[in-house]
Amino acid sequence: LAVLFLHENGIIHQDLKPANVMVSAAGHVIIGDFGASSYMDRCGKGVTLQPTDVVTFTPLYAAPELKCRNTEGLVVFDERVDWWSLGVMLYELAIGSVPFRTGDCRTVGDFSHAFGEMEKISSSEEWWDMRFEEFIRDVRYLSFLSKHVALRFIAAARSRPTTPDKRPGCHGPAYFRPYL
């Protein structure tokens, strides 16, 4: 619900990771550290960062599209980067490690881990429960960790309202409440 709340209000966190997610004494999820966050454009269609803009993220949890500039030097992304990060955290919660571990994440230019295949999950461990395997399969195949943004639509689609956007110049559904 916390991620949905951000997206409904036009905010892309852009750096979701375990260190930025806390649970209150009452059991409520609290998301912190909005230093890297971005606002969606006024029609809720994502974010475009210019060649001179700095892109901030944590490599092990960042979606591939945050790490690559297009041929014009732009970084273009939307709220689906947060769903990727959430998928990585859910995988880590269930398995105990992040799904992509190849490459040296201390080197800013090396992000091959995001494009590697997910490691084969071994059920040889004594603690293993088939429910874990089903859970991880759901995280992967329900689009959270799709390497292709276009396929990472299920979670993002659930976060978007179906009512038309009535603001001038906007077409399609209303992605979030207008800024005050």
Active site residues: 15
Residue appearing with tokens 């603690």: 127
Residues 56/47, Cβ–Cβ less than 8 Å:
no
**What does each C-alpha distance from 81 to 34, 38, 127, 149 come to in angstroms?**
14, 11, 32, 8
The torsion region of residue 27 among left (phi > 0), alpha (psi -120 to 50) and beta comes to left
Nearest CA to 61 out of 11, 19, 33 is that of: 19
- The secondary structure element, H or E, covering residue 30 is strand 29-31
